[in-house]
Amino acid sequence: MAEKRPTILQIIPELDTGGAELSTIEIADAVHAAGGHCIVLTEGGRLVQRLRDTGAEVHFFSAATKNPIHMLWNAHRIANIVRRQSVSLIHARSRAPAWSALIAARRTGVPFVTTYHGAYAEKSELKRKYNSIMARGDIVIANSNYTADLVRMRYGTPRSKLRVIYRGVDGRLFDPVNVAAARVEAVRRRWGVEDKQRVVLHAARLTPWKGQRYVIEAAQILKQRGIGDEVVFILAGDAQRRGAYQAALVQQIEAAGLEGRVRLVGHEDDMAAAFRAAHIAVVASIEPEAFGRAATEAQVMSTPVIATDIGAPPETVLGRPGVPATRATGWLVPPEDASCIANALAEAFAMSDTDLTRMGERAREHVLRSFSLRQMKQQTLQVYDELLGTTLADRPEPKSPS
């Protein structure tokens, strides 16, 4: 008898940008490729068409609401979808919709999976209670060992319910060979970068915890030392309605006399070309990254990374000074320390082109070995199989070697 085609329902507030959003699309693609069906409940966003291209069914849904009455109503609506479309399993990727999804899963008797995507702040008991939904899955997926340790520490979640599945990077999409020189040139042109100028890229949405102010301070320190006159610092990221913070960064740049040297360029669609255009990438987060996709995406494009040594980046970046130069893929520095960022940049600028290229090559090999998209897809399908008794993970993935 042929195995029943499972239907996986994922729920996420928006599909604009970010690791959770991209993972939703990638797992929808994996489910479809393995012979299953995927439904995604979301309020929408710029990535909706990309999701549809995987074969997933998109339902526009008030998934971002935090109103308790609306959340209860959402649970009723989700339960109806589960029954009507014979949903096999619900996978929640964000806190507010996860509460509704858990109620629906328990009412309908289907398995409930969560992915703990972020190192959520817990400044009160109420917030801790709210966050705890992400540790209530029948299986809880943590996107790094740092995240798994956090879940165990906060909620006492047993190891038997936890699975560490790193976010995966598509080694075909992010491949220097597959990124045409014209794409790289187009990115540099959008940024106003001249041919001989080198690029330091900080790619993150504009929010204080991503540490843009420390990148600006590092640029100022290097200017004072007379280092890197040919370097342009690119801060690429969407302000996401944080106009006051964006204005504060502009003011900081102007006060330091860095108008031409540090540039806010907004959201960048072609991240593969962006990282290829960069000589060094910086992840300057001052709060722990639960994973930090920018660090792996930069490295897989053969771009060395300077990252703060908190959260998951120490798992993804083989960083100087703790790692020998012959093995390093970048640098690890303390958070909120512009001097250390500046020192790492100065060390990178002093390296020969050959040594920097070799570091970039090691970085790509490191990511392909440990953080591939294929691994993430396979391991997530294994979680579904474990709960459903299916064999999705055993089916060969067509075409894509990533």
pLDDT digits (tens, 9 = 90+) for 322-339: 999 999 999 999 999 999
Rounded-to-integer distance, Cα 304 and Cα 298, Å: 7
Would you state the pLDDT for residue 119? 83
Question: What band does 398 get if pLDDT is binned at 50, 70 and 90?
Answer: low
Candidates 3.30.70.2660, 2.60.40.1730, 3.40.120.10, 3.40.50.2000; CATH matching 176-370:
3.40.50.2000
Residue 256 pLDDT > 90: yes
Do the domains at 7-168+372-394 and 176-370 have one common CATH topology?
yes
Among the residues of 34-117, which ranges form H helices? 48-52, 68-84, 95-108
The whole-number average pLDDT for the span 14-29 is: 90
What is the Cα–Cα distance from 82 to 78, expressed in whole angstroms?
6
d(C-alpha 200, C-alpha 95), whole Å: 34
The pLDDT, as a whole number, for residue 401 is 40
CB distance 47 to 23 below 8 Å: no
pLDDT tier, 400 (very low <50, low <70, confident <90, very high otherwise): very low
Q: Given a cut of 50, is residue 192 above it in pLDDT? A: yes
Candidates 3.40.50.2000, 3.40.50.720, 3.60.15.10, 3.30.300.30; CATH matching 7-168+372-394: 3.40.50.2000
* CA 3 vs CA 38, 86, 87, 164, 389: distances in Å: 16, 15, 15, 28, 10
Q: CA-CA distance, 345 to 335, in Å (whole number)?
A: 15
**Could you please report the per-residue DSSP string of 49-68?**
HHHHTTT-EEEE--TT---H
Paired with 266 in beta bridges are 236
In the chain, count of helices (H) and strands (E)? 15, 14
Domain ranges of the chain: 7-168+372-394, 176-370
Q: Report whether the peptide linkage leading into residue 321 is cis, meaning its omega lies within 30 degrees of zero.
A: yes
Mean pLDDT value across the chain: 94
pLDDT higher than threshold 80 for residue 402? no
Which strands form 330-333's sheet, in the order they lie side by side? 262-266, 231-236, 198-203, 280-283, 305-308, 330-333, 319-320
CA–CA distance from 376 to each of 59, 164, 293 (Å)? 25, 10, 13
pLDDT digits (tens, 9 = 90+) for 45-87: 999 999 999 999 999 999 999 999 999 999 999 999 999 999 9
Compute the distance between CA of residue 304 and CA of residue 364 in angstroms, rounded to an integer: 9
Q: pTM above the 0.85 mark? A: yes
- % the chain with pLDDT above 90: 90
Residue 19 reports pLDDT greater than 90: no
